[in-house]
Amino acid sequence: MSPEMKNREETLSIEERIEQIIESNDTMAEILAGDPFQKLLQREKELAGSDEVQIGGIFCVDGRLPSLFSRLLNTWRSAGSYVPKVGALLGTALEHAAKEKDRFLLELVTSHYSGKTGHGCGWAKATLQQYFDPNPEEVRDFARKVAGGTLNVITQKFNEFCKADGVTPQERVGVQIEIDTDDFGLTLVAPENRGVEMQVESLNMARLAIHHKSEILALDKSRFKDKAGIYLEKFDKTESFLEFYGDIVDLTDCLLNTKNSLVKEVDAFIREYFSDLVPAQIKGLKFMLVRNIAFEFLTGLNEVEGEPTHSFVEHDERAMVFSPRGKRFGRFLTNLQLFGTTPSNTEEAISAILMEIGLLEAHEGQKPHILFLSEPVDEKVWIELGEKNELRDLVISKQAQLFIDLHQNIEIKRLVKEGKIVIVPLIVDADTAKVLERPDYTAYL
Ligand SMILES: [Zn+2]
């Protein structure tokens, strides 16, 4: 966020701040629902082979903007991507995925670090600090190991569901990806040899984008020759979203259909370390990686000399979003950062909320901090239900109960009372995240 915008924001009332975030979200929802975007999405589905592979991603709650990745990604968020055991919400998603007999699953389990600024994963750092004072490399290694553990847990659970459904288990359910939050470059991490302490083999997309730049510039009669780094200043702007997304899809398409040395390098790495992936998964994985190379080329983020300068380098989250049934409000926003969690139960939610409040306090976020409670529903169904309907009542009463439960937690109750936090319930469309209703449950307190 620019300093001017920040100054302007400081003079806003809490209600105006809430409205501003909702408005940004709804503008993005409208773009996503529109024809031009739907056409781009269709092309991406074909490039990724979505009929045969479902791609999911697990992100840390303090990692940056999964919205910068393809819209095709189903995202889950937990602190440090740490999933010690599969809870109800993620479990349901895996159970559904296991039932899709003709479609494979590919989970990208991510960890994050900062290549230039070195501030890395806050959760991983705080966890290690209970024992010693870690350096950025140690934080990065730890975060990567935790993500590896999560991948194992998910693999086991997914295959249990497969067996229960009489579906053949998958040899490999996902891969490990590291995100450099300074330039948003992805690194594919090769599986570690168990028991042998050796260097981790990896393939970095930002490096490939630089290394093979001349090849990209020469692609398709030099169609992309004027596009290197043109989105550096505007990759996060709502106004340029469609144009940027369109160029990413075009370049990804072009790269995937070219047999140049860049793509060959990606192929060779996958062949060497991921022989247990099936062709549909390889297609999906290759799409995600090559798309990130296109992203890096078009933003030029990896080529910025010295410290990166984009608006997401420092924590600048404006609010938190807590979505106990997944599909969060604000998840497609590119112009501002929101913390987001999809916890499995109220206990997990409270601990995530308290951690995020700590982070908001650390960068002097404005008080009160806004916590959106997001409940995804199908817009058409919701409107058809009308005001008087049992199903509608059920959704509303569940959210009201959660609202009450959160206010009953001693710590949260105190923060609300002291005016440090305000909880805002929302009913949103599951597909586009558009806000359909803003229920008021304060009378129940
Ligand atoms: Zn983190």
424: helix, strand or coil: strand
Q: If you measure from the C-alpha of residue 62 to the centroid of ligand 1, how many angstroms do you get, rounded to a whole number?
A: 5
Distance between Cα 266 and ligand 1 center (Å): 27
Spacing, Cα 163 to ligand 1 middle (Å): 33
Burial class (CB in 10 A: 0-12, 13-18, 19+), 14: middle
Q: Ligand 1 mean position to 94 CA, how many Å?
A: 23
The residues placing their C-beta within 5 Å of ligand 1, an ion, are 60, 62, 121, 123
∠ CA 197-84-143, nearest 5°, is 45
b/e sequence 332-356, b meaning 16+ C-beta within 10 Å: bbbbbbbbbbbbbeeebbbebbebb
- Residue pair 71/57 in contact (Cβ under 8 Å)? The answer is no
Contact in structure between 180 and 114 (CB atoms under 8 Å): yes
Q: Which pLDDT value is given to residue 3? A: 52
Between CA 54 and CA 374 the distance in angstroms is 24
Give the whole-angstrom CA distance, residue 240 versus residue 229. 14
CA of 277 to the centre of ligand 1 (A): 27
Note the pLDDT of residue 309: 67
Instruction: Quote the CA–CA distance of 61 and 342 in Å, as a whole number.
Output: 9
The CATH architecture of the domain made up of 317-444 is 2-Layer Sandwich (3.30)
The pair phi, psi for residue 432, each rounded to 5°, is: -110, -10
The closest of 173, 135, 168, 141 to 157, measured between CA atoms, is 173
> Residue 24's closest CA among 9, 10, 4?
9
Give the residue among 322, 376, 374 at the shortest CA–CA distance from 345.
322
pLDDT per residue as tens, the chain (445 positions) = 555 555 555 678 889 999 999 999 999 999 999 999 999 999 999 999 999 999 999 988 775 666 677 788 777 777 788 888 887 677 888 898 999 888 999 999 999 998 888 778 888 998 999 999 999 999 999 999 999 999 999 999 999 999 998 999 999 999 999 999 888 999 999 997 654 556 778 999 999 999 999 999 999 999 999 999 999 988 888 899 999 999 999 999 999 998 889 999 999 999 999 999 999 999 999 999 999 999 999 999 888 887 766 666 666 677 888 888 878 898 888 877 788 887 777 888 888 788 777 777 766 667 788 999 999 999 998 888 877 788 888 899 999 998 999 999 998 899 899 888 899 999 999 989 999 999 999 988 8
State in Å: Cα 125 to ligand 1 middle: 8
Q: Is the dihedral of CA 300, 301, 306, 309 positive or negative?
A: positive
CA distances to 74, 95, 102, 110, 439 from 156, in Å: 19, 12, 20, 18, 39
pLDDT at 10: 63
The residues of the chain that CATH labels 3.30.1330.140 are 317-444
Q: Tell me, in angstroms, the distance from the centre of ligand 1 to residue 351's CA.
A: 15
| Tokens describing residue 346 | 């109220």
Q: How far apart are CA 387 and CA 82, in angstroms?
A: 40
How many C-beta neighbours within 10 Å does residue 410 have?
8
User: Rounded distance, CA 179 to CA 200, Å?
Assistant: 15
Contacts of 91 (CB under 8 A, 6+ apart): 157
CA distance 187 to 205: 6
Calpha distance 252→181 (Å, rounded)? 21
